[in-house]
Amino acid sequence: MESLKKRILEEGRVASEEVLKVDSFLNHQLDIQLFEEIGQEFYKRFEGKRITRILTIEASGIAIASIAALYFKVPVVFAKKTESRNLDVDTYKSQVYSFTKQKTYDIQVSKRYIHEGDRVLILDDFLANGKAALALTDIVQQAGATVEGIGIVIEKGFQEGGKLLREQNVQLESLVIVDRFKNGQVTFMN
């Protein structure tokens, strides 16, 4: 997706050896026109799949999934990271190790919002080691539903998530794949 690559090149900041910051359009300030393009592109790539729900994880995934849902015309469910008295007691739970935060946390989805037989599209902003996507997959499987695909805005090809997920025979669509960071500059694989 050329427009996305352009924005990454112009505005992305390499924050450490492995972390890319794109706060000006994806993770803090949100460029909704770009999100529309992203949503359309996901819709094109998963055309023909009878998706019944989109599943993502708070916080950054929510906006991406919401705009994409305008095209898929299905509900968005997001996994919650924090315990809350508002959350139903009956939940599917899984664990995610975050390499950016360097800690493990629980995610939860109420059993009311994913059902047996659902055909779920998982969407997220970044793919690094694949822990978030695998935990979301685990929740879908606990519900007796199926993962129809995984859509990622920015995959970092030098981390292992892409390989792990492709080995699972799931349709993984990454709109851009970052090859590496060289002297603070991003290069792409696709």
Residue 125 binds to ligand 5GP (criterion: CB under 6 A): yes
Q: Which of 24, 129, 141, 146 binds ligand 5GP (CB under 6 A)?
A: 129
Q: Applying CB under 6 A, does 124 fall inside the site for ligand 5GP?
A: yes
155 binds ligand 5GP, rule: CB under 6 A: no
Rounded-to-integer distance, Cα 6 and Cα 100, Å: 24
Q: Which of 4, 8, 20, 176 binds ligand 5GP (CB under 6 A)?
A: 20
- Binding flag, residue 126, ligand 5GP (CB under 6 A): yes
Q: Check binding of 161 to ligand 5GP (CB under 6 A).
A: yes
Q: Give the integer Cα–Cα distance in Å for 85 and 7.
A: 39
Residue 24 binds ligand 5GP (CB under 6 A)? no
What are the phi and psi torsion angles at 126 (to 5°)?
A: -125, 150
| Contact yes or no for 35/63 (Cβ under 8 A) | yes
Piece in contact with ligand 5GP (CB under 6 A), picked from 37-45, 66-74, 128-136, 167-175:
128-136
By CB under 6 A, the residues from 47 to 86 that bind ligand 5GP are 57, 60
Q: Dig out the tokens for 186 from the structure.
A: 């991003």
Is residue 19 near ligand 5GP by the rule CB under 6 A? Answer: yes
Q: Which of 131, 145, 157, 162 binds ligand 5GP (CB under 6 A)?
A: 131
Instruction: Output the CA–CA distances (angstroms, integers) from residue 144 to 99, 102, 139, 148, in the order listed.
Output: 29, 30, 9, 13
Q: Does 130 bind ligand 5GP (CB under 6 A)?
A: yes
Q: What's the rounded Cα separation, in Å, for the pair 77 and 63?
A: 11
Among the listed residues 145, 121, 136, 156, the one whose alpha carbon sits nearest the alpha carbon of residue 42: 121
Residue given tokens 């529309």 in the structure block:
36
Question: Distance between CA atoms of 156 and 128, rounded to whole angstroms?
Answer: 6
Interface residues toward ligand 5GP, by CB under 6 A? 19-21, 27, 57, 60, 98-100, 124-132, 161
